[in-house]
Structure 1
């Protein structure tokens, strides 16, 4: 009797184990399949490849005009933002001392020339020695050099515009004393506004000087024609990019230096990015 009970108990345990195995197998069969390996994610293209190329308008030429001698500012003929013409008088310095020195130099030269003329006549008459004649020649030449020096100094009393453009900033005021090297005015030439930007170096296969495109300017919310002027002489080995310079193709009064925008430039069909 005891043996029968033992067999029955053992058979029940085996049945329970089989049931657990079947349930585990069923659950594995109906479980969701493992996720497929993720496809290689396309690396995020850099901004250059998306053609989000930014650029800023800059003048063709710009400079700071400075005083070349120590003097008081007598007059400033222009104001900030004003247009100027090439050769226009911009700043006048008070050079009364230098003018007096010029008059003195002129008088000294006149005396030296009269002395030289007299010695030359005496030399023709053999009435003067060679040393005296040579000394009068040297005095004449020295007086000429002194006058040339003061005239060159006086030429620095008036500052003229080296080219047409606009006044950016006035740095001094009338009646102010300035030392040599003191900045007076910042000016720029806006006859042609330029654009400097960076493009992928692989664009060199098709991007050449003279290539036309458009640029959208943020401040005016308008698009303008532009033209490539030159390309950089060296490719950056890290970013694989190269500098490009362009110019606004035309004259637009609303555009001023410092404005910025987006270059509307893309490879032609078949060239890819």
Structure 2
């Protein structure tokens, strides 16, 4: 080989090497993607409320007096704990008290008259019996006996009438006591005073029909709590009392409370034309665990419809249209794979077929360039 030919070959080799280097330097870089390996675990099918639910008290009553009047006694303040039967508020009632005192006096008088009349009746009956005994022995006439018997019957009628007057007086006193009860608010159960409308000396007005007047006292039994939440009308037919639920409260991020569905409303609420929901009530599994939650806290409810243990699962965020996923192959090329899926929720989806344990699926589908055939490199791999 001549010197000139050898130089040409070297030049060609150098150019080829440079071209290869340029091509290698300009090659498409693998796309960084988020990926997660298919793993075995628990998957639940669940539904959640469409709008925020609310922590409610099992017992809550908004109390008002039956009659209106000036507040004469207010023995509580907001936040106080009260016992069942405790007097919370009383209106001015001197007029009603006076009527009750009159009824008491009338009852006392009626009892005295009844005692007197009945005592006289007993004596008259005994006298009639003596006259009958004397007449039988011929000592008195028949007319004397008849007169004694008539007097005894009249005295007995007077006794009966006096007892009727006494019963009337008792009813009048009971009516007076009922009137006094119309101006008093008594706690129907033990609880916490949430709100008081009115101050000592102010006029308290009961709420007439059709007029939303604020109650005088809002009383809450916070020893028993539950959550009321609106569910989409599409999900409602799948929810049954007794199903397991989980409650999360915005005020306590990261905490979950076990619960059970107690009630599914038998009607649809239409807050807006496009927002039709069905209210459900869920009871906390442990009232001790729920103690300390405030009535009115916003809460979310997740209801478990079905569950599978120890099944192959992938993040639900990895699913594409038609139940397909992008799998990172051994050569780093993204491969589209069709799956047969089972139970699913917003977090995980069960894989019945189409994927092996350990294979990595792409979860960052929104990134530009992520498509079948693209080269990719896992940015991070999680196994949870």
| Shorter-chain TM band | 0.5 to 0.7
Pair 165,222 (structure 1): closer, same or farther in 2 beyond 3 Å = farther
2:281 maps to which residue? 245
1:195 aligns with 2:243: no
Counterparts in 2 of 1:4-153, with a 5 A limit? 51=48, 53=50, 54-124=52-122, 125=124, 126=151, 129=154, 132-153=158-179
1:20 corresponds to: none
* Structure 1 length-normalised TM: 0.67
Q: 1:88 to 1:193 in 2, by over 3 A?
A: farther
Whether 2:192 is the aligned partner of 1:162: answer: no
- Per the alignment, in what secondary structure is the counterpart of residue 129 of structure 1? helix
* Alignment root-mean-square deviation, CA: 3.4
Whether the 8 Å CA contact 1:84–1:164 is kept in 2: the answer is: yes
Shift in alpha-carbon separation, 1:133–1:211, aligned structure 2, 3 A? same
Residues 86-142 of structure 1 deviation map (CA, whole Å, 9 limit, x = unaligned):
223211333333222222212111212222222223334126736645543332222
Deviations 1:218-265 (A, max 9, x none): 1222423122112344689x9997543202333334421222133234
TM value normalised by structure 2: 0.49
Residue aligning to 2:255: 223
Q: Is 2:244 aligned against 1:212?
A: yes
The structure with more strand, counted as a fraction of residues: 2
Shift of 1:167: 1.8
**Alpha-carbon separation, structure 1, partners of 2:283 and 2:196:** 27
Unaligned runs of 5+ in 1: 1-48
Deviates more, 1:120-129 or 1:196-205: 196-205
Distance change (3 Å), C-alpha of 1:55 and 1:256: same
Aligned residues: 224
Per the TM alignment, residue 197 of structure 1 is displaced from its structure 2 partner at its CA by 2.7
